[in-house]
Amino acid sequence: MQAKIVKQYPLGSPADVWALVIHAPKLAAQARPGQFVMLKEPNSPHILARPFSIAAAFDENIVIIYQQVGKVTNHLPLLKENHELLMWGPLGRGFNLNSRTPLLLGGGVGLAPVLFAWLKHAKATLMLGFDNWQRFSLLSAVLAELKRGVAINQTGPNSKIVAGGVYVTSQRPGPGWQEECALVLDPLTPENLKPFDAIMACGPWPMLKKAASMATVSELPCQVAAEALMACGVGACQGCATPKAEGGYLNLCQAGPVLSSLQLDWERI
């Protein structure tokens, strides 16, 4: 389907992460947290569309967050308002948000799935980890755009986590940072996990793996929003094969991208 750029702006510093707001009324109305779109600049020399998680959907727009990591994403910031994009979706299965007090975990700038889940769940707790303290401004910028004023708690390995809050950790703290360095999972002691009845996570595979085993130990259900290379996003190409628990592979685009951690064979990931 055709979609138009409403606007895009860099998120925080360094300015290589962008929020892209796209006008796509039908898609925006259907989108659920954890779902994704296939997106492509129609005149790009790159023939395949790329999957992008939906970070928010409001009015008739969706928001995606991307980092400039290669030729395709380096070209995107050059596109102006009203530029037409080729896009199809929403695709895949999103989060099951039927839990009372979920803990949402995001590792790095690929935080879109949990951000969208947080926007849709009034009681959710959001906890994000970044490699660099400067990335925090990314979250502030997104929240300002979404008109969600909220206190962001800088968090260290020994911080207390309270249900309903927003927490950020960093591997590299900067000036004025009161807390120690931490990975996003570091503060999740059994004590800190007590208020929660579910874990929902997105981020790099090693982080998801750790989150899944942490959930198992604490006997919490865990959903992960995973990533894979894909060409179609609808189950036709079977490129996004991901090892499943009972052996063999599942198509991440159809069975996921949000999966129960029990569906995956973590040994083969």
Which three-class secondary structure state does DSSP give residue 75?
A: helix
Q: Which one of 45-53, 54-62, 123-131, 140-148 is the stretch in contact with other proteins (CB under 8 A)? A: 45-53
Among 259, 253, 233, 255, which Cα is nearest to 50's?
233
Q: Of 99, 125, 242, 263, which lies in the binding site for other proteins, with binding defined by CB under 8 A? A: 242
Task: Find where tokens 């290589």 sit.
Answer: 16
Nearer to other proteins, 154 or 242 (CB): 242
Nearer to other proteins, 74 or 238 (CB): 238
Q: Does 176 bind other proteins (CB under 8 A)?
A: no
Nearer to other proteins, 157 or 239 (CB): 239
Residues 82-121 as x/- pattern, contact with other proteins by CB under 8 A: ----x-x---------------------------------
Q: How far is CA 178 from CA 122, 168, 188, 252, in A?
A: 28, 12, 19, 40
Residues 48-77 as x/- pattern, contact with other proteins by CB under 8 A: xx----------------------------
Q: Of 186, 235, 245, 266, which lies in the binding site for other proteins, with binding defined by CB under 8 A? A: 235
Q: Does 239 bind other proteins (CB under 8 A)?
A: yes
Which three-class secondary structure state does DSSP give residue 269?
A: coil
Q: Burial code of 174-204, b = ≥16 C-beta within 10 A, e = fewer?
A: eeeeebeebbbbbbbeeebbeebebbbbbbe
Contact, 256 vs 226, CB < 8 A? Answer: yes
Q: Does 266 bind other proteins (CB under 8 A)?
A: no
Among 112, 47, 48, 39, which Cα is nearest to 76's?
39
Shortest distance in whole angstroms from residue 170 CB to other proteins: 26
